[in-house]
């Protein structure tokens, strides 16, 4: 597989899995972070394709415009609304939730946003770690805290949080300590929400191997340099070498998992992790 073959694909209407669910209507709002690209964009489109009103947030205003434009091109049933915000700023987090709640009954939260930095622990810059922690772990916790009163005040008193973990929330690779710690932490957050949700507020996490996203393509050259190998070797050996399914997932594949978890199909999914890793972590040769 070449670098070109891991380029993030465009979501089509046929890619979106439609679910017959009485709660998937325009009066219910799904808040999606990182919605300007990658898995976040695909999740916003999948939620709108299932009739939900989507509050799409990202620091990248042009990326959010692209998500909305793609939704309009596809003629999706639900509306997508742009809420520009910085997940490292508490005032922005509070405004994001307020704006999302103003669109209808805030019922679903998809914590997708993520960043990457590659360095060994003894060279890892703490400012990079702090930023990763705030975006990928602290923001999901605070957004959950802010969303809980809205979930409980809704007509059925229910809500659901989906957190984007990773195979690196189960086992780790070198040179990604900030990412590894955040993804393990998201699984702990997921289980904590389930423990306190009383069955009415559910939570789940999703753990995938490498997905064709800008986050993945952006780390190819850094990983190659860090390990002293070619980009092609990074793809074939590092990213796919331990997987039994030797193709990367696409962002919409992950987005569809979010909607399954949010739906009545996922009503017994609470605190659990959806492991879609192609056999990377639980098999060996």
Query: DSSP per residue over 115-136, as a string?
Result: ----B-GGG--HHHHHHHHIII
pLDDT the model gives residue 236: 63
Q: Could you say which architecture CATH assigns to the domain 28-211+250-276?
A: 3-Layer(aba) Sandwich (3.40)
Sheet containing 53-58, strands listed edge to edge, beginning at the edge strand earlier in sequence: 80-84, 53-58, 28-33, 105-111, 159-164, 201-208, 273-276
Distance CA 76, CA 46 (A): 9
DSSP of 73-103, one letter per residue?
HHT-SS-EEEEE--TT-HHHHHHHHHHHHTT
CA end-to-end span of the chain:
21
pTM of the model: 0.92
Q: Say how far apart CA 177 and CA 218 lie, in whole Å.
A: 17
Catalytic residue check, 179: yes
Choosing from 129, 142, 171, 179, which is the catalytic residue? 179
Domain limits of the chain?
Answer: 28-211+250-276, 213-247
Residues 6+ apart with CB under 8 A from 156: 23, 200
Burial class of residue 156 in the structure, from the number of CB atoms within 10 Å of its CB (0-12 exposed, 13-18 middle, 19+ buried): exposed
Distance CA 117, CA 128 (A): 7
In this predicted structure, what is the pLDDT of residue 200?
98
Query: CB–CB of 151/158 below 8 Å?
Result: yes
Query: What is the reported pLDDT for 8?
Result: 75
Per-residue pLDDT of the chain (285 residues; tens, 9 = 90+): 555 555 678 999 999 999 999 999 999 999 999 999 999 999 999 999 999 999 999 999 999 999 999 999 999 999 999 999 999 999 999 999 999 999 999 999 999 999 999 999 999 999 999 999 999 999 999 999 999 999 999 999 999 999 999 999 998 989 999 999 999 999 999 999 999 999 999 999 999 988 888 776 666 666 767 677 665 665 566 656 677 677 788 999 999 999 999 999 999 999 999 999 988 888 876
User: What is the helix, strand, coil percentage profile of the chain, to 5?
Assistant: 50, 15, 35
| Cα(156)–Cα(267) distance, integer angstroms | 14
CB 167 within 8 A of CB 156: no
Residue 142 near residue 58 (C-beta atoms within 8 A): no
């Amino acid at each position: 597989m070449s670098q070109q073959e891991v380029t993030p694909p465009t979501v089509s209407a046929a890619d979106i899995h439609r679910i017959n669910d009485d709660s998937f209507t325009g009066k219910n709002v799904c808040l999606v972070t990182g919605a300007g690209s990658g898995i976040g964009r695909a999740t916003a489109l999948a939620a709108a394709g299932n009739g939900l009103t989507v509050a799409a947030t990202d620091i990248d205003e042009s990326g959010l415009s692209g998500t909305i434009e793609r939704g309009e091109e596809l003629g999706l049933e639900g509306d997508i609304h742009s809420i520009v915000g910085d997940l490292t700023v508490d005032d922005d987090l509070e405004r994001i939730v307020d704006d999302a709640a103003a669109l209808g009954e805030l019922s679903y939260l998809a914590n997708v946003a993520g960043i990457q930095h590659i360095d060994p622990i003894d060279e890892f810059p703490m400012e990079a770690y702090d930023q990763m922690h705030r975006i990928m772990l602290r923001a999901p916790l605070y957004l959950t805290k802010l969303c809980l009163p809205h979930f409980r005040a809704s007509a059925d008193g229910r809500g659901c949080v989906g957190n984007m973990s990773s195979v690196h929330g189960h086992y780790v690779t070198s040179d990604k300590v900030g990412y590894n710690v955040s993804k393990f932490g998201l699984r702990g957050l997921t289980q904590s929400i389930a423990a306190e949700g009383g069955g009415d507020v559910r939570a789940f996490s999703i753990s995938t191997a490498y997905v064709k996203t800008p986050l993945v393509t952006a780390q190819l050259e850094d990983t190659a340099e860090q390990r002293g190998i070619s980009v092609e070797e990074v793809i074939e050996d590092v990213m796919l070498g331990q997987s039994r399914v030797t193709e990367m997932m696409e962002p919409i594949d992950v987005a569809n998992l979010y909607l399954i978890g949010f739906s009545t199909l996922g009503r017994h999914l609470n605190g659990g992790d959806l492991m879609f890793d192609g056999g990377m972590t639980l098999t060996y040769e």
